[in-house]
């Protein structure tokens, strides 16, 4: 039996349901917008320590990306696409972990920045394989030279034999371990990382979920988990920026947003 899936660019009915379900969250949005706008307009990157200067710039840009993620999670969930919001949440979670790690260890900013050369080399090699000669030889050699200059910084040694292999990441530990160390374990990790894994990769979990939802409307995902987690991560990112850049003038607005978070999600995530 065929089933039609009409393209809907905006679902007013779903948006109305979302507002009715989560009125306190919706009422909190104006303060969130004000807070994120102000926190991104004020930081100063200047620092006599080059590692801290680079860390400052990266933290600001990562924060801006997570604020964009928050907007996208909310828009998708409010429009009736909660699993789409969860897909975005996975990236927001990993960017937040990266932001916190660089904030706490500014000397690692250089590792994060330098790893782009390995990524670019990998893409260039694939492009050259698929489209030989399309990439100018001089550009390819430049990309290779940049990779060669940093590749030894991203090797791991076997604890037993000492054999060195590429690490596969700028992080020296698995992102799950890093997240747990930073206090982003528990329900946050389970939802934003592992649950989202079923949506960002081809997994049977995503199929089973949809089969259950088709057979039982009460199983429908309203988006509360993704929106509340995104809300929590956004406020944690803002807190890190306020503390790092000493923006005391935003403390009152931040505390208001924290209170509104707790009122909106009394049973979700944890304390922001």
19's CB contacts (< 8 A; 6+ apart) are: 26, 78
Q: What is the DSSP string of 118-182?
A: HHHHHHHHHHHHHSTT-S-HHHHHHHHHHHHHHGGGGEEE-TTT--EEE-SSSSSS-HHHHHHHT
Task: Express each pLDDT in 85-125 by its tens digit.
Answer: 999 999 999 999 999 999 999 999 999 999 999 999 999 99
**What pLDDT was estimated at residue 271?**
47
Nearest to 225 by CA among 21, 68, 30: 21
Q: What Å distances lie between residue 224 and 3, 97, 106, 151, 181, CA to CA?
A: 28, 21, 34, 42, 26
CB atoms within 10 A of CB 88: 24
**What pLDDT was estimated at residue 1?**
42
How many angstroms separate the CA atoms of 167 and 165, rounded?
Answer: 6
Q: Which helix (H) or strand (E) holds 228?
A: helix 224-244
Residue 158 above 80 pLDDT? no
Nearest to 265 by CA among 240, 232, 235, 242: 232
pTM for this predicted structure: 0.90
What one-character DSSP code corresponds to residue 22?
A: -
Q: What is the DSSP string of 78-94?
A: HTT-HHHHHHHHHHHHH
Contact 127/71 with Cβ under 8 angstroms?
Answer: no
- Residue 221 — φ and ψ, nearest 5°? -85, 120
Contact 35/257 with Cβ under 8 angstroms?
Answer: yes
Contact 124/135 with Cβ under 8 angstroms?
Answer: yes
Task: Express each pLDDT in 207-235 by its tens digit.
Answer: 998 888 887 776 678 899 999 999 999 99
- With H, G, I as helix, E, B as strand and everything else as coil, classify residue 250: helix
pLDDT (average), residues 58-82: 96
Task: Write out the two tokens for 33.
Answer: 């917008």
């Amino acid at each position: 039996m065929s089933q039609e899936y009409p393209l809907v660019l905006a679902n007013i009915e779903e948006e109305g349901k979302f507002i009715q379900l989560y009125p306190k969250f919706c009422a909190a949005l104006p303060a969130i917008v004000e807070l994120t706008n102000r926190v991104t307009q004020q930081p100063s990157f200047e620092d006599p320590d080059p590692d801290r200067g680079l860390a400052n710039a990266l933290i600001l840009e990562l924060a801006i990306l997570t604020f964009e993620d928050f907007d996208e999670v909310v828009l998708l969930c409010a429009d009736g696409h909660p699993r789409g919001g969860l897909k975005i949440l996975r990236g927001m979670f990993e960017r937040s972990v990266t932001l916190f790690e660089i904030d706490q260890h500014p000397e690692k900013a250089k590792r994060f920045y330098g790893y782009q050369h390995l990524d670019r080399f990998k893409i260039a090699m694939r492009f050259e394989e698929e489209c030989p000669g399309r990439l100018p030889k001089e550009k390819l050699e430049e990309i290779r030279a940049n990779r060669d200059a940093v590749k030894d910084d991203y090797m791991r040694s076997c604890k037993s034999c000492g054999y060195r292999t590429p690490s596969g990441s700028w992080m020296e530990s698995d992102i799950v371990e890093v997240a747990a160390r930073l206090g982003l374990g528990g329900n946050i990790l389970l939802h934003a990382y592992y649950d989202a894994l079923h949506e960002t990769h081809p997994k049977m979990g995503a199929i089973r979920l949809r089969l259950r939802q088709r057979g039982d409307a009460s199983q429908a995902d309203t988006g509360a988990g993704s929106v509340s987690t995104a809300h929590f991560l956004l406020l944690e990112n803002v807190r890190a920026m306020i503390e790092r850049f000493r923006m005391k003038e935003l403390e009152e607005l931040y505390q208001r947003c924290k209170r509104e978070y707790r009122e909106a999600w009394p049973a979700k995530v944890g304390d922001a």
